[in-house]
Structure 1
Amino acid sequence: MSGAKSQGFRQSMAALHTWVGLLPGWLLFLIFLFGTTAYFQQEISRWMRPEMSASASSRSPSFPTLAAADTLLRDRATGAQEWNLSLPARGGQVVRVSWEGGEAAEGKATLDPATGRAITVRETQGGNFLYRFHYDLYAMPRIWARSLVSIAALAMLVAILSGVVTHKKIFADFFTLRFWKGQRSWLDSHNVTAVLALPFHLMITYAGLAALLFTIMPWALDAQFPARKAFNAAAYPDAPEFPASGRTGAMLPLPVLAEKAEALWGGGHLGGLSIDHPGDANATASAYALRDRLGRPSPRLILSATDGRLLYRAATEGGARATQDVMILLHLGTFAETGLRWLYFVSGALGTAMVGTGLVLWTVKRRQRLPDPARPHFGFRLVERLNIAMMVGPVAGIAAYFLANRLLPLGVALRDEWEIDCLFLVWGGVVAWSLARPAARAWIEMLAVSAALYALVPLVNSLTTTRGLVPSLSAGDWVFVGFDLMMFVAAGLLAFAAWRLAARKAKAPPRRTRTGTEIMA
């Protein structure tokens, strides 16, 4: 009797696992795919701005760079009411300087983070777009996008837990991976990619939910605060204001202010500096830290810009807020050095493969139950075509995004938006092709096209810049070398997948038209 109950419970979990995996599965694939690229978003941004020097890849700008920014602001922005300095995390972004208000005309400048030299870089959103897409999506109200992502993440957590229950031999099957065995191979691949990074999948999903905690569960806030503005005022109180005195005063150089801020943080890295009333005796410097330290908060500081005295330090976070911050940093991985970020990246790639193999497995399993596999019902065809559109489409689109960065004219208006448009144009082309062609053919053809696009990226880069693979190897520019090699790896994997499907289709009996899932099985 207990065995029957156990079997019934496991079957219930299997059904739950199937549907909570399928319904948000395509969105989960996008979240994992774009989120995985985000672990190297700074390096991607670095590659997409080839005008920056080859040495612009350190964790934070050197003090000589800050000195150059200080000189520029004192030369160009005398009389402004506010100076702003934005610093990059790992050299992927440029140093941005701006000033506004007062007698000086509003202005801005871009500096190379390694040399401090004023440069002109192509307009691009770089890796930041790929990062933001995985939780904000695109061209959608933010609240709706984050609600959808939160629901998908909640479904992912349920799918992971129910999957562990459903596959009672999931860890044993991990050691019996069978290749080219149809449905059995897809199930084995799904299990292996799940088990290899299971702790990561649990952590990244739960931490992602913690980051978007109040998006779909706002009731605790509603019970304590009359409006969201009241919560924001309590959680993120405004700093005190320090008005100008009307008397001139000599300011400390920006490198000195940065050094004092980092000393007060106990090792935190400066991420931004804002000077209010520069040149006034009551000028202040607001310092913001990079979020790159796990469990060691670096609150906002306000220093006197004339003598470096600490005027204000943000209150210490409570236990709940500090815990949420740790969860967010675990999810982002911004605290991780290169080796750990590669582990994050590989685990994210396994998560992407886990979701993808699960979506394919759904169609492979159900094909065998169809009365006439050559004429499947509408629901089956819809899932089959959505698999192609939502898995191959964004993969090809990301390659198009990189190619557009090199091929679009540098002076074209809204250039960064055109790069994004190219991603969605190619993605839309894959959708249209998958609807117009037999599913089996569409899988093979779109995988082959995607492979060609990724193989083109290093070639186009070498033809349009001086930062091709060979010159980068000679110069020891490992960001550009690593990027080009990863493009070749992606092209090789996609080409191999297309070749395997084409070879299987060639062996298939010609007696009737075979569906895409029959070829993949």
Structure 2
Amino acid sequence: MSRPRSVRQSMAWLHTWSGLVVGWVLFAIFVTGTASYYRPEISHWMRPELSAAKPDPAAAATRAGAFLQRTMPDAAGWSIKLPNAENPAVEVYWWQSFNGPFHHALLDSASGERAAVRDTQGGDFLYRFHYELSLPPLVGRWIVSACAMILLIALISGIVTHRRIFADFFTFRRDRSAQRGWLDAHNVMGVLALPFHLMIVYTGLVTLSAMLMPWAVQTAYRGDILRYYADAGIMIAGRPPAGRPGAALPLGEIVSRAMAAAGETPELVMIAHPGDAAATVTAYFEEPPGLAHLHPQIAYDASTGVELGRVGEAGAATRTGAVMVGLHEAHFAAAPLRLMFFVCGLMGAATVATGLVLWTVARAPKNAAPEGLGLRLVRILNLGTIAGLPAGLAAYFLVNRLLPVSLDARADWEVGAFFGVWVLAAAASALYPPKRAWTMALTVPALIFLAIPISDSLTVGELRFLGFDFAMALLGLLFLLAARLAGRRAAMRQPSRANLHRAAEA
């Protein structure tokens, strides 16, 4: 009769299997989410035609309004992201229903026409992939939420399991055995950024809480989510359309009034029911210094320019939720703190990756016995995700410089390169010789990352992108170093396994 498991043994089992089941998805979430901390910089690099300028926000708003009036005068709503010193382009969206589709264009702030820039999703693709996985929005968010919940379980069970967790943090025994080395690496990466891991998972779940637990709002407000947002101090209450046409003031005049009222330039202007006599223009401003992700807002009558109201004071619950969102997205962080968030995100990806590899190392067959189907499947998935995803990410950046600027559906080609290279790298991992699999798999993203600064210097060659190119070269060198270490480790294991094989034959 077997003895019952202790609490620590049960937690170890839960930690191992919960981490394995969603580990590959979590790795992708961590990598793309970490890259999203530099989402604006990625978008700027992928649109090199946009140069620094000093645009006039009011004039740009007027030109953008004229463009939207020509493009879709009967739209349900317009959105205009005004230019600034960092991003001189005007970004506009328009839609006929909140259920989509949402149309998008980049405009030249000086002319009000479509900007002559390459078609790309830039950093926005990685940002949305982080919480939607390029799936239908609700499906992707539910999958990411489920993975985040399981990761929270894995973190808590891991803390319970490792009673010597802080002592083990100061011990790294790479040469004792492969299993011990990977376990120590997993512990170091996990413990060093443990507060960040707990924070980022919990705040991520809070960010999606309205989708995960909608019943209170649906019951109290009978499905009127916009009224809830107004009462909570998240947005200004809208007003219904009048049902008759109206003549609106130039948007530039309303933007000028908003700038005078708030003492700063709005970052976003939204127009509800454009062309209607009751059209409303709402100016959104940057969130004030602090953790809370709440935007001050002023609403104006589009026809008269009269101020209709300002966003209400957020209550304690709303402000707490906004702080959670602010912590997760790190909009408040200056450059040094944002770099620390980025490094902690990389440690999160490394924690997941070392845990996945540790699972296979701990179950590797002894005495040159053949691998089982399950173990081989996990090893191939590890190779295809840990090495394949970075290869796809590097390809996403590389093709931005290699594809013709005027190519139709160019943004789709870039996204296709991301998934195509990822799938090819994952499929090739099944064909790699097991002794050299990691060396070959890690060399692929290394070479692609190293090719990015070369292609940028040959096609664009602007000094303002040196920082991004240096980061890509550094990533390539790190992957090249990892490939070399993996090859050295395989060479060290090869003689002993050959001796075991000869002993087995004897």
| TM above 0.5 | yes
How far the C-alpha of 1:301 sits from its partner, in A, is 2.4
Say if 1:411 and 1:44 are closer, same or farther in 2 by CA, change over 3 A. same
Q: Is 330-339 or 107-116 further displaced after alignment? A: 107-116
Residue 233 of structure 2: aligned partner:
none
- Residue from 455, 461, 468 that aligns with 1:460: 455
Query: 2:398, 2:224 → 1: CA distance?
Result: 46
User: C-alpha deviations, 1:63-120, integer Å up to 9, x for none?
Assistant: 624434435756996996787522368835831257899xxxxx99744679999731
1:406 touches 1:461 (CA, 8 Å); kept in 2?
yes
Residue 228 of structure 2: aligned partner:
234
- Residue from 140, 163, 188 that aligns with 1:145: 140
- Residue from 478, 484, 494 that aligns with 1:509: 494
- Residue from 316, 319, 322 that aligns with 1:319: 316
1:451 touches 1:492 (CA, 8 Å); kept in 2?
yes
How far the C-alpha of 1:314 sits from its partner, in A, is 3.6
User: C-alpha deviations, 1:241-295, integer Å up to 9, x for none?
Assistant: 47578578687635513414534xxx685223438768x9987532123457532
1:87 touches 1:95 (CA, 8 Å); kept in 2?
yes
User: C-alpha deviations, 1:431-460, integer Å up to 9, x for none?
Assistant: 111112233322111211110000000101
Unaligned runs of 5+ in 1: 57-61, 102-106, 515-521
Say if 1:513 and 1:142 are closer, same or farther in 2 by CA, change over 3 A. farther
Query: 2:225, 2:68 → 1: CA distance?
Result: 40
Residue 207 of structure 1: aligned partner:
203
User: C-alpha deviations, 1:459-489, integer Å up to 9, x for none?
Assistant: 011111132xxxx0xxxx2xx1221111011
1:239 touches 1:312 (CA, 8 Å); kept in 2?
no
1:393 touches 1:427 (CA, 8 Å); kept in 2?
yes
Partner SS for 1:303: strand
Q: Is 403-412 or 129-138 further displaced after alignment? A: 403-412
Query: 1:465, 1:494 → 2: CA distance?
Result: 25
- Among all aligned residue pairs of Structure 1 and Structure 2, give the percentage whose two residues are the same amino acid: 41
1:157 touches 1:202 (CA, 8 Å); kept in 2?
yes
2:55 touches 2:110 (CA, 8 Å); kept in 1?
no
Q: 1:413-492 to 2 correspondence within 5 Å? A: 413-467=408-462, 472=463, 477=464, 480-492=465-477
How far the C-alpha of 1:198 sits from its partner, in A, is 1.2
Q: Is 431-440 or 198-207 further displaced after alignment? A: 431-440
Q: 1:245-394 to 2 correspondence within 5 Å? A: 253=253, 255-260=255-260, 262-263=262-263, 270-274=267-271, 284-290=280-286, 293=289, 294-295=291-292, 297-304=294-301, 309-367=306-364, 370=365, 372-394=367-389
Say if 1:291 and 1:18 are closer, same or farther in 2 by CA, change over 3 A. farther
Say if 1:300 and 1:192 are closer, same or farther in 2 by CA, change over 3 A. same
Residue 504 of structure 2: aligned partner:
none
Residue 31 of structure 1: aligned partner:
29
Query: 2:409, 2:104 → 1: CA distance?
Result: 18
Residue 502 of structure 2: aligned partner:
none
Say if 1:156 and 1:76 are closer, same or farther in 2 by CA, change over 3 A. closer
Say if 1:113 and 1:246 are closer, same or farther in 2 by CA, change over 3 A. closer
1:42 touches 1:93 (CA, 8 Å); kept in 2?
no
Q: Which amino acid aligns with 2:50?
A: M
Residue 41 of structure 2: aligned partner:
43
How far the C-alpha of 1:300 sits from its partner, in A, is 3.7
How far the C-alpha of 1:298 sits from its partner, in A, is 2.6
User: C-alpha deviations, 1:135-167, integer Å up to 9, x for none?
Assistant: 1002x3322221111111111111111111211
2:58 touches 2:252 (CA, 8 Å); kept in 1?
no
Length-normalised TM-score, structure 2: 0.83
How far the C-alpha of 1:507 sits from its partner, in A, is 3.1
Aligned length: 480
Say if 1:409 and 1:304 are closer, same or farther in 2 by CA, change over 3 A. same
Partner SS for 1:410: coil
Query: 2:94, 2:225 → 1: CA distance?
Result: 31
Say if 1:390 and 1:99 are closer, same or farther in 2 by CA, change over 3 A. closer
Q: Does residue 62 of structure 2 align to residue 70 of structure 1? A: yes
Say if 1:97 and 1:507 are closer, same or farther in 2 by CA, change over 3 A. closer
Query: 1:356, 1:108 → 2: CA distance?
Result: 37
Query: 1:77, 1:33 → 2: CA distance?
Result: 40
Length-normalised TM-score, structure 1: 0.81
Q: Which amino acid aligns with 2:399?
A: A
2:64 touches 2:107 (CA, 8 Å); kept in 1?
no
Say if 1:203 and 1:308 are closer, same or farther in 2 by CA, change over 3 A. same
- Residue from 123, 126, 131 that aligns with 1:127: 123
Say if 1:115 and 1:201 are closer, same or farther in 2 by CA, change over 3 A. farther
Query: 1:250, 1:363 → 2: CA distance?
Result: 64
Say if 1:92 and 1:8 are closer, same or farther in 2 by CA, change over 3 A. farther
Q: 1:49-198 to 2 correspondence within 5 Å? A: 49-53=47-51, 55=52, 64-70=56-62, 84-87=79-82, 91=86, 94-97=89-92, 110-111=106-107, 119-138=115-134, 140-181=135-176, 182-198=178-194
Query: 1:247, 1:131 → 2: CA distance?
Result: 38
Query: 1:192, 1:114 → 2: CA distance?
Result: 52
1:299 touches 1:316 (CA, 8 Å); kept in 2?
no
Q: Which amino acid aligns with 1:13?
A: M
Unaligned runs of 5+ in 2: 97-102, 231-235, 500-506
Query: 1:87, 1:289 → 2: CA distance?
Result: 11
Q: Which amino acid aligns with 1:67?
A: A
How far the C-alpha of 1:234 sits from its partner, in A, is 3.4
How far the C-alpha of 1:387 sits from its partner, in A, is 0.5
> Over the residues paired in the alignment, what is the CA RMSD in angstroms?
3.6
Query: 1:513, 1:113 → 2: CA distance?
Result: 68
